[in-house]
Structure 1
Amino acid sequence: MAREKTWHNIIAVDLLEAGWVTRVDLGGRKLAVYDTPSGVYTSSALCNHGGADMCDGYFDGHVIECPLHQGAFDVRDGKPVSPPATRPMMTFETRIKEGMVQIKT
């Protein structure tokens, strides 16, 4: 039987870097939180291609570029948008509640 997913507070909204990427650690999991024009999104901070820290990559609007190989992903759904990225990155359902960014895991 699958465990039911629950919401977890990860960072206060006012601690996010405006229009940029903020690194957050949650129970040993490294996360990247993106402040975008359409809302806040969260992904694993590690690129699935080479393990680089996505928080060190170039971020523009809704696209994060891996600092190691320049593969890029859409942070809204994790889909790769430029090579060498071919697999989606891990993203998390994200919401804002009572001034906190929350993810569902």
Structure 2
Amino acid sequence: MSNWTDVAAEADLFEGAGIPVAPAGHDIALYLQDGQVFATDNLCTHGHAKLCDGFLEGFEIECPFHQGRFDIRSGAATLAPCTEPIRSWPVKVEGGRVWLDLA
């Protein structure tokens, strides 16, 4: 069962950067990369840093604390010291709005 929630305007996103959103109490980062929108948990599983403050290179977000990385498409940890994945969230863009499936 889907639970699509409007979380941001597509115009609020910038290529190669993350922004924080907090729908229904979830701390989530949105990213615009190569014209696509992705969403992951905003908190690093290693250092408890906000990933929206990290550096986005390709499809990897680098944690601003210890430079570990996660794939924004899947949430997989891709570079130590990060080993635990983060959650990735289903995204759709309709009518200039970004929607997340919070189910």
TM-score when normalising by structure 2: 0.91
- Which residue is equivalent to 1:68? 65
Q: Is residue 2:84 matched to residue 1:87?
A: yes
Instruction: Give 1:40 deviation, angstroms.
Output: 0.5
CA distance in 2, matches of 1:87, 1:93: 19
Q: Could you give the per-residue CA deviations for residues 31-52 of structure 1, whole angstroms, max 9, x where no partner exists?
A: 1101011510001111111211
CA distance in 2, matches of 1:70, 1:19: 17
Aligned pair count? Answer: 102
Instruction: Give 1:7 deviation, angstroms.
Output: 0.5
Structure 1 residue corresponding to 2:52, chosen from 51, 55, 66? 55
Task: Name structure 2 gaps, 5 residues minimum.
Answer: none
Instruction: Give 1:58 deviation, angstroms.
Output: 1.0
- Which residue is equivalent to 2:98? 101
What RMSD over aligned residues (CA atoms) do the two structures have, in Å? 1.2
Instruction: Give 1:24 deviation, angstroms.
Output: 1.4
Decide whether the 8 Å contact of 2:17 with 2:55 is kept in 1: no
CA distance in 2, matches of 1:18, 1:87: 26
Identity among equivalent positions (%) equals 33
TM-score when normalising by structure 1: 0.89
